[in-house]
Structure 1
């Protein structure tokens, strides 16, 4: 396990949050090629200020992805206490898609594969998704051959589906999430042609 970081002073925490918000905007607009100079300019600070918080661009990307994973973990843990396991799983998928719809930074995930903190957070969230799916399976809300990894793979699917359209309506992704969730239900299910993938 990594050693917990010491809490930042209020002003330092504010500057860090400002930089991360500026970086998210730059990455969303320019892709992974957005530079530290671009990010510093948007945040209204010098490049040196960025490097005081994040030693490398990769560290900044890892911090952004880590925050997104932590936020989803909070939601997942809350929903594990919900009375209706099927509704809880659907709510989790809805929150995950909504967060991505607001700002899709999924393309940055591949750049964090070697970061140990992000790896731990990803493992934790995957385990929580497994638990949400297991509860939904036991309640009969989803088919018995659905795994947590199946659902993990589908987290980005509603947003990617509407990405093929030139000008999708803001909430059109909800239509495809409904189609996906209907496919998880046991009613009318047919045997799947391949087994569920292993979690790497």
Structure 2
């Protein structure tokens, strides 16, 4: 690849990564091209579809989450790390929840679900909890806190604490109550 093409591709990937992190997978190719200072045609010369571009951006993020699931000692540690990553990247949240149908992305999400399942298998969770549940619940925590992200950027930690209290088996199947 020529040096100018390499530079253009890097500008494109940097712009796409920033915009997808800020706005999620719904960001338009036109917005990405504008941020990168290139034309839409140039985007499509590098990536045949927007989904290919998303896959290029979030593939490394999904790999990072899979790696985190394999290296974290507990389901709790993984979920704290994972929701933190989701809070920093809206596109990753979109991808983890299954809204992007690219085969590479779906394969990455499946690897993530499997890695989360291995953590679930080692943890004492309520009966029936799956790795997929964990991944979707992490996106749910992020989504619940997202409207207040600017005012309370750490709110997701509070919500994750509530979720973990209910998810992890406390020896009782009844919901916690205050009396």
Q: State the TM-score, normalized to the length of structure 1.
A: 0.71
What is the correspondence of 1:86-165 to structure 2 with a 5 Å cutoff?
Answer: 88-105=74-91, 106-107=93-94, 110-113=98-101, 115-137=102-124, 142-165=125-148
Deviation of the 1:72 alpha carbon? 0.8
For the residue of structure 2 that corresponds to 1:163, the secondary structure is helix
Are residue 179 (structure 1) and residue 162 (structure 2) matched?
A: yes
Separation in structure 2 between the aligned mates of residue 123 and residue 53 of structure 1, nearest angstrom = 26
Deviation of the 1:93 alpha carbon? 0.8
**How many pairs are equivalent?**
173
Separation in structure 1 between the aligned mates of residue 110 and residue 151 of structure 2, nearest angstrom = 33
Separation in structure 1 between the aligned mates of residue 7 and residue 70 of structure 2, nearest angstrom = 27
Unaligned runs of 5+ in 1: 1-7, 83-87, 193-200
Unaligned runs of 5+ in 2: none
Q: Which has the higher helix share?
A: 2
What is the correspondence of 1:2-151 to structure 2 with a 5 Å cutoff?
Answer: 15-27=8-20, 32=25, 34-79=27-72, 82=73, 88-105=74-91, 106-107=93-94, 110-113=98-101, 115-137=102-124, 142-151=125-134
Question: What value does the CA root-mean-square deviation take over the aligned residues?
Answer: 3.0
Q: State the TM-score, normalized to the length of structure 2.
A: 0.78
Equivalent residues of 2:24, 2:90 under 8 A apart: no
Q: Output one character per residue of 1:57-114: Cα deviation in whole Å (capped at 9) or x when no partner.
A: 22112323323212211211222xx3xxxxx21121111111121121234565522x
Could you say if the C-alpha distance between residues 77 and 11 of structure 1 is closer, same or farther in structure 2, counting changes exceeding 3 Å?
farther
